[in-house]
Amino acid sequence: MNQRRLAWLGIVLIWLAFPYRSPAPLIYTPGEGWRYEKAGGEGKWVRTRAKDQLEVAQKAYDAKDFGTARKAARRTVASWPFSDYAPQAQYLIASSEQALGNDEKAFKAYQKLVEKYPRIDNYDEALKQQFEIANRFLAGKYFRVFGLVPLFPSMDRTIKYYNQIVKSGPYSSVGPQAQMNIGAAHENKWIKDYPEAAHAYERVADRYSDQPIAGEALFKAGQAYLKQAKTAEYDQSVSSQAIATFSDFNTLFPDHEKAAEAKTAITALRTEQARGSFQIARYYEKRRRWEGAQIYFNEVLIKDPDSKLAEEARRRIEEIKKRVQK
């Protein structure tokens, strides 16, 4: 028995004595942890100086080897986070993730860049890339579960992306449009959130009042209130808000290409308000509550004085007066 054990032990020692290559080796580096390497590529991209490590990342990126570029750039940031080479390395991480189609990871990497290295030269470019990523999700791109499985589009998460862009660069080249797209995302929700959309557009008009986008934003705010008014059967206050917003738009931007459309919307809203008042007046009239009927028929005259409803309201007011006098 002992001889058999000695024989097996000898075989194991001989087997261990000969080197071999793992088809999928894992490399451990103190301070960095474990990393996967393809067979034959162990450590070929690793350098001992930040400058050299960044050069490896940049060359790999230029050669469209985005996987290696990402690894080399990550090591630059992890090993030399306070070096002059770390900001560009972080930018390469984000760009590589984006090139690999990992938009969510790319957005987070760009966000880390602008938060950790706010004085970088390509700060605005990072925000532009975040804006492009957010636009893809606004257009319906699916978010991934655990960064792997595409599952669903989400306007709430898209809004968070735009909010981060606005927070990082409110007056950047993409800041105003990012705020506009927050409004669009609210309108793109499965259950449309027109009030929040209108508020988002109004923020654009207020914050960027000296820029051309302010006119477009105020018009869109009016449209959002108009859409809400069409879904609010008994809330005429929303119609009033839409009228007020369109009126402000026409006052502030009388030469805007949408001015005529705003006037048409105001006319339609006033007609709709008058119709609502007329129906309420008829409700009181049928129940012989003359004072209430008169009040709402008068509202018809105020809201839409030149309409056919106004003519009918005047006639009924006269009839009510005769009834009351008897």
Q: Is residue 301 part of a domain?
A: yes
Q: Is residue 308 part of a domain?
A: yes
At residue 129, the pLDDT reads: 98
Question: CA of 260: how far to CAs of 199, 220, 254, 257, 266, in Å?
Answer: 23, 14, 9, 7, 10
Higher-pLDDT residue of 9, 77 = 77
Higher-pLDDT residue of 14, 155 = 155
Q: Is residue 145 part of a domain?
A: no
**How many structural domains does the chain have?**
1
Distance (Å, rounded) from C-alpha 50 to C-alpha 90? Answer: 13
Q: Which two tokens stand for residue 117?
A: 């290295």
Q: What is the pLDDT of residues 239-272, one digit of tens each?
A: 999 999 999 999 999 999 999 999 999 999 998 8
At residue 40, the pLDDT reads: 47
What mean pLDDT comes out for the span 288-307? Answer: 89
Residue 193 has pLDDT above 70, yes or no: yes
Residue 12 has pLDDT above 70, yes or no: no
Q: Is residue 318 part of a domain?
A: yes
Residue 112 has pLDDT above 90, yes or no: yes
* pLDDT, the chain, mean: 88
Distance (Å, rounded) from C-alpha 175 to C-alpha 297? Answer: 48
Q: Is residue 295 part of a domain?
A: yes
Residue pair 110/156 in contact (Cβ under 8 Å)? The answer is: no
Q: Is residue 232 part of a domain?
A: no
Q: What is the pLDDT of residues 204-225, one digit of tens each?
A: 999 999 999 999 999 999 999 9
306: containing domain: 277-326
Counted residue by residue, the chain has a size of 326
Residue 136 has pLDDT above 60, yes or no: yes
At residue 3, the pLDDT reads: 57
pTM of the model: 0.80
At residue 186, the pLDDT reads: 98
Q: Is residue 54 part of a domain?
A: no
Q: Is residue 282 part of a domain?
A: yes
What mean pLDDT comes out for the span 17-22? Answer: 46
At residue 30, the pLDDT reads: 44
At residue 230, the pLDDT reads: 83
Q: Is 121 helix (H, G, I), strand (E, B) or coil?
A: coil
User: What H or E segment, with its residue span, contains residue 219?
Assistant: helix 213-231
